[in-house]
Amino acid sequence: MLTAAAARNLKAADQPPAIAGKRPMILHNDRPEDLETPVKYFDTWVTPLDAFFLRQHLPRPAIDPAAYRVKLNGLVSKPMDLSVADLQKLPQHTVPATLECTGNGRAFYSPKLPGIQWGRGAVGNAEWTGPRLSDVLKLAGVDTSAKFLEIDGADSGVMQTPDFVRCMPMEKAMHPATLLALKMNGETPDIHGVPARLIVPGWDGTSWVKWVVRLTPAAKESGGFFMNPGYRYPKYALPPGTPARPAELEVIEGMPVKSTLTSPEDQSKAPLAPMVIRGFAWAGENAIERVEVSTNGGATWQNAQLSAQKLPFAWRLFTLNWTPKDPGYYTILSRATDTAGRVQPFVPAWNPSGYLWNGIDKVGVTVEKA
Amino acid sequence: MRTALLLLGFALAACAADQAVIEKGRQEEQRTCLPCHSLRIIHTNRLSRAGWNKELDKMAGWGTKYTDRDAILEYLVATYGDDKPVAPPDMSADGRAKK
């Protein structure tokens, strides 16, 4: 016998639901919500909230901003609980930064890996506003012996599911661009982790803890499942399909260099006429130096035009004006290079959790006589 | 001829048994897999038998209680095995007017 709740859930699984505040999105899961942005929505430098991807590990917590507190304990001289009003009193900063799910592109790895089968749209660029995490920690008198910061989100698991706790080196916690964001694109969408979301520019999405309720400076690295074995990457590349070597797995921090083509749409048709190839490129903690585009499957490459702002942490938009000579099928590729000289590979290293896919992007378009 | 018929008989019986096990597995999924997440996160994966076996261990470690683990494994391998085609994911309905 099904319980009433289970029957409701089954029914819900049949008809794709609407997710509050979101346009139609690629639906990987509805409870909790895991939504991917269709690449055709990416046409602006700031990704609108109604098109921003969503990744949730655990059931989403109910948030009451009036009762919300961030606890500071551990290696601090003045343990305290901060309200949203307390956080609003600190100097507010805005950091534009690209947020990408650690598993964006998992679906492209072969052999296949368990997890959300993200394609190209578990990424977005937003303007995050709030106090610096360093200012918050200084309020509580963080001790110099603290080398790591443990961060707990309000989301917690069902039965014995692990709690969502992460840990990062104090150096990154004290970086001036690391924020406790109260706002995203000037708004307060709690589905994205406000009233207090950790912003860790350039690092993988998993580090950007949502609904932060506890900050604990500590001498040693800590954290449960979501630090180990979760969200680790092999130090030495493995043959595809082989098991992880636990002793050689490292915590993922900065993200790789990457580009994504947004137009033309993959497997679309276009008239034989001038067109603009578009996309965006980003590089973790670095800025984008160059994006090259090929319209002939990689035989030759041309430099694309880049949007003017060359910032670390935030993506740059690119365009290339292109007039196809003949009708027919074209394979268009994009390849980004960052300020540190890192280049997108043809073949990203397979890894046992399917993280950090950053292969040269590819779309196909059929050009037809007008 | 007789042996061939006999073999065919065995094959049909085995197939029917498989169907029954798979159906049991489907029911087991509805009973055991819904407390923490919906089924989409399961059905969008395509894994080998070893891969599904590992997932069932992982979920058991987090509190999932099976009454018929073998049936759910057979069902998952038969329906969402790594030899099965990947279905294009659904799109959510427009939620912009929803609060």
pLDDT (0 to 100) of residue A17: 95
Q: What is the largest CA-CA distance in chain B?
A: 68
| Helix (H) or strand (E) segment spanning residue A232 | strand A232-234
Give the span between the Cα atoms of A136 and A11, in whole angstroms: 45
Measure in Å the smallest separation between the Cα of B63 and chain A Cα atoms.
5
Q: Which of A187, A218, A182 is nearest to A198 (CA)?
A: A182
Q: Is the pLDDT of residue A3 over 60?
A: no
pLDDT (0 to 100) of residue B17: 63
Of B62, B94, B98, the CB nearest to A159: B62
Q: With contacts defined as CB-CB under 8 Å, which chain A residues touch B86? A: 107, 117
Give the span between the Cα atoms of A315 and A307, in whole angstroms: 9
pLDDT (0 to 100) of residue B1: 45
Q: Quick one: tokens of A293?
A: 């585009």
Q: What is the DSSP letter of A162?
A: P
pLDDT (0 to 100) of residue A1: 37
| CB-CB under 8 Å, A18 with B34 | no
Is residue A100 a contact partner of residue A282, using CB atoms and an 8 Å limit?
A: yes
Q: Is the pLDDT of residue A2 over 50?
A: no
At A355, the amino acid letter reads Y
The tens digit of pLDDT for each residue in A233-277 reads 999 999 999 999 999 999 999 999 999 999 999 999 999 999 999
Q: With contacts defined as CB-CB under 8 Å, which chain A residues touch B38? A: 9, 12-13, 29-31
pLDDT (0 to 100) of residue B99: 74
ipTM reported for the complex, 2 dp: 0.91
B/e letters for B31-47, b = 16+ CB within 10 Å, e = fewer, are bbbbbbbbbbbbbbbbb
Measure in Å the smallest separation between the Cα of B72 and chain A Cα atoms.
17
Q: Which of B57, B90, B94 to mutate to test the interface with A (most CBs of A within 10 A)?
A: B90
Measure in Å the smallest separation between the Cα of A208 and chain B Cα atoms.
22
The tens digit of pLDDT for each residue in A69-120 reads 999 999 999 999 999 999 999 999 999 999 999 999 999 999 999 999 999 9
Q: With contacts defined as CB-CB under 8 Å, which chain B residues touch A35? A: 92
Per-residue confidence in pLDDT tens, chain B, 99 aa: 455 555 554 555 556 669 999 999 999 999 999 999 999 999 999 999 999 999 999 999 999 999 999 999 999 999 999 999 999 889 999 999 987
Give the span between the Cα atoms of A324 and A312, in whole angstroms: 34
Q: Which residues pair with A94 in a beta bridge?
A: A129
Task: Please give the residue of chain A at the shortest CA–CA distance from B64.
Answer: A159
Q: Quick one: tokens of B30?
A: 């509805």
Q: What is the DSSP letter of A106?
A: G
Q: Quick one: tokens of A302?
A: 């041309």
pLDDT (0 to 100) of residue A311: 97
Give the span between the Cα atoms of A22 and A30, in whole angstroms: 12
In angstroms, how far is CA B15 from the centroid of its own chain?
A: 16
| CB-CB under 8 Å, A160 with B61 | yes
Q: Is A79 on the interface with B (CB under 8 A)?
A: no
Q: Is A112 on the interface with B (CB under 8 A)?
A: yes
Q: With contacts defined as CB-CB under 8 Å, which chain A residues touch B30? A: 2, 6, 10
Q: Is A162 on the interface with B (CB under 8 A)?
A: yes
- Strand, helix or coil for residue B49: helix
| CB-CB under 8 Å, A26 with B89 | yes
Backbone angles phi, psi at A180, to 5 degrees: -110, 95
Give the span between the Cα atoms of A97 and A125, in whole angstroms: 6
- Strand, helix or coil for residue B70: helix
| CB-CB under 8 Å, A28 with B39 | no
Q: With contacts defined as CB-CB under 8 Å, which chain B residues touch A160? A: 61-63
pLDDT (0 to 100) of residue B89: 87
Measure in Å the smallest separation between the Cα of A197 and chain B Cα atoms.
21
The residues, any chain, with a CB within 8 Å of residue B12's CB and separated by 6 or more, are: none
- Average pLDDT over all residues of chain A: 95
Q: With contacts defined as CB-CB under 8 Å, which chain B residues touch A27? A: 40, 89-92
The tens digit of pLDDT for each residue in A299-349 reads 999 999 999 999 999 999 999 999 999 999 999 999 999 999 999 999 999
Percent residues over pLDDT 90 in chain B: 79
Sole residue written with tokens 């949502």? A210
Q: Which of B44, B95, B74 is nearest to A25 (CA)?
A: B95
| CB-CB under 8 Å, A21 with B86 | no
Q: What would you report as the CA-atom Rg of chain B, rounded to the nearest whole angstrom?
A: 18
Reported confidence tier of residue A198, pLDDT bands at 50, 70, 90: very high
The residues, any chain, with a CB within 8 Å of residue A320's CB and separated by 6 or more, are: A276, A277, A293, A302, A304, A305
Q: Which of A223, A222, A71 is nearest to A140 (CA)?
A: A71
Angle at A57 between CA A353 and CA A18, to 5 degrees: 115
Strands A316-322 and A361-368: unpaired
Q: Is A20 on the interface with B (CB under 8 A)?
A: yes
Of A17, A59, A160, the CB nearest to B93: A17
Q: Which domains does chain A have, with CATH numbers?
A: 4-251 (3.90.420.10), 258-368 (2.60.40.650)
Which one is predicted more confidently, A180 or A223?
A: A180
Q: Is A311 on the interface with B (CB under 8 A)?
A: no
pLDDT (0 to 100) of residue B13: 53
